[in-house]
């Protein structure tokens, strides 16, 4: 069993690591499902404030992977998200290289849909890159991505946690105006989205500074090798050095992208399908699809067994039959201050008592149990103690007569007073 965080999240195995901490596959004991848990690595004021900002985001959208819950334990904090097992766009490009244009356009449209939901909440992501775009396991079917990692995201108008001359973001995906210290805005996310689209179609990691200088030299340059002209027109509108010349909203980009896809040729039947498979790997030993597997073969925490000093587990002692003890005779209680009475010795069987009638028991008393061994003689029958006589209640006769005389005298005095008055 892995480490249990805050009594709820059981950390199983690490599945990723970023600048702010590690991401673990974890078992949520309350909701009984697997989640991704991001454990904060640093505990300084800036890191904690970024953590508070990130876990406070609650954006419900099929293409956004926002935090779902959080917990704190001593000096560590974590928040959880849905577990996405298909890896990132970086894994996909590493496996296949440049993607088919229609497949890349589908991924780009989903990314823009997620960004549209994020921008609608007034949030600038500030770190759009292939490693932060995760994929569900869909096989060779329609892909499904989720935009993740809101560690440096901020709402427009919020106070910045860094100095104005300090650039926050991943080198190569930072918009040129951000390099000059401008306030974070939505066009900066769209510039990074254009770089991601270029990466999907060429299979080569772009450099934002080189793209910026390329556009400054040539205006709108011709499409790179392998990029269809209709899609290049959309990407060029995202990569303009001047933010005022770019697309202003993700919705506008999606409309232009839909029109460009209609101009793309259909892919041939011999084209290699792109498969999105599980990148995390199987669960470690002791865990199943429904959670931790107990020692008894069921699901749930395994019962703890005490171990002996040698490391073995003791077995329960065998149950032995206890011998039946013969019943002991019951003797009457001995009065205080007297010696215990010696049990009477039974008369010999050969001596005649002269009374052929067996002794009788008092009415209402059960017959004593006969002993099955000669070692213990039968106990004498219990006798009932005579009931004590209860004194009559009330005053004595002399006291009653005196009270009666006084009462008659009082009555006579009252009658005389009435007659004379």
Distance CA 260, CA 141 (A): 22
DSSP letters of 11-71? EEEEEEE-SSEEEEEEEETTTTEEEEEEEE---SHHHHHHHHHHHH-----TTB----EEE
DSSP letters of 111-155? HHHHHHHHHHTTEE-----GGGEEE---BTS---EEE---TT-EE
Distances (CA, A) of 165 to 123, 170, 180, 182, 248: 21, 16, 8, 9, 25
* Residue 407: both structure tokens together: 């009462």
Q: Within 10 A of 239 (CB to CB), how many other CB atoms are there? A: 28
Instruction: Read off φ and ψ for residue 188, nearest 5 degrees.
Output: -65, -40
Distance CA 2, CA 25 (A): 11
Judge whether 150 and 125 are in contact, CB under 8 Å: yes
To the query of whether residue 189 is one of the catalytic residues in this protein, the response is: no
Residue of 28, 116, 127, 189 marked active site: 127
Q: Within 10 A of 197 (CB to CB), how many other CB atoms are there? A: 26
Distance CA 382, CA 366 (A): 10
Q: Among all residues, which ones are annotated catalytic?
A: 127
């Amino acid at each position: 069993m892995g480490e249990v965080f805050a009594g709820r999240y059981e950390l199983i195995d690490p599945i990723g690591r970023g600048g702010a901490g590690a991401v673990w596959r974890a078992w949520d004991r309350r909701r009984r499902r697997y989640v991704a848990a991001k454990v904060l690595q640093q505990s300084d004021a800036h890191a904690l404030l970024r953590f508070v900002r990130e876990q406070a985001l609650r954006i419900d959208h099929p293409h956004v992977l926002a935090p779902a819950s959080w917990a704190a334990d001593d000096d560590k904090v974590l928040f959880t998200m849905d577990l996405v097992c298909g890896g990132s766009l970086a894994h996909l490009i590493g496996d296949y290289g440049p993607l088919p244009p229609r497949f890349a356009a589908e991924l780009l449209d989903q990314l823009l849909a997620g960004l549209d939901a994020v921008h609608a909440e007034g949030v600038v992501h500030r770190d759009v890159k292939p490693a932060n775009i995760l994929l569900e396991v869909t096989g060779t079917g329609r892909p499904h991505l989720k935009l993740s990692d809101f560690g440096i995201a901020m709402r427009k108008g919020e106070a910045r946690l860094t100095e104005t001359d300090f650039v926050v973001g991943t080198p190569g995906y930072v918009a040129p105006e951000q390099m000059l210290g401008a306030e974070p805005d939505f066009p900066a996310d769209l510039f990074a989205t254009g770089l991601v689209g270029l990466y999907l179609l060429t299979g080569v990691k772009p450099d934002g500074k080189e793209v910026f200088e390329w556009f400054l030299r040539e205006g709108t340059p011709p499409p790179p090798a392998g990029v269809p002209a209709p899609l290049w027109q959309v990407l060029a509108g995202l990569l303009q050095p001047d933010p005022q010349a770019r697309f202003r909203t993700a919705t506008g980009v999606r409309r232009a992208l839909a029109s460009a896809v209609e101009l793309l040729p259909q892919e041939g039947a011999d084209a290699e399908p792109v498969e999105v498979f599980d990148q995390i790997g199987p669960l470690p030993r002791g865990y199943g699809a429904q959670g931790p597997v107990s020692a008894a073969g069921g699901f749930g925490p395994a019962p703890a067994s005490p171990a002996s000093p040698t490391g073995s587990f003791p077995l329960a002692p065998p149950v032995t039959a206890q011998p039946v003890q013969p019943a002991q005779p019951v003797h009457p209680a001995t009065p205080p201050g007297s010696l215990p009475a010696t049990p009477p010795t039974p008369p010999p069987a050969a001596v005649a008592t002269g009374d052929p009638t067996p002794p009788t028991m008092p009415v209402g008393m059960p017959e004593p149990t006969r002993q099955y061994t000669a070692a213990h003689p039968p106990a004498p029958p219990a006798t009932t103690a005579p009931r004590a006589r209860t004194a009559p209640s009330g005053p004595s006769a002399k006291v009653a007569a005196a009270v009666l005389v006084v009462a008659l005298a009082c009555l006579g005095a009252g009658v005389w007073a009435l007659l004379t008055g």
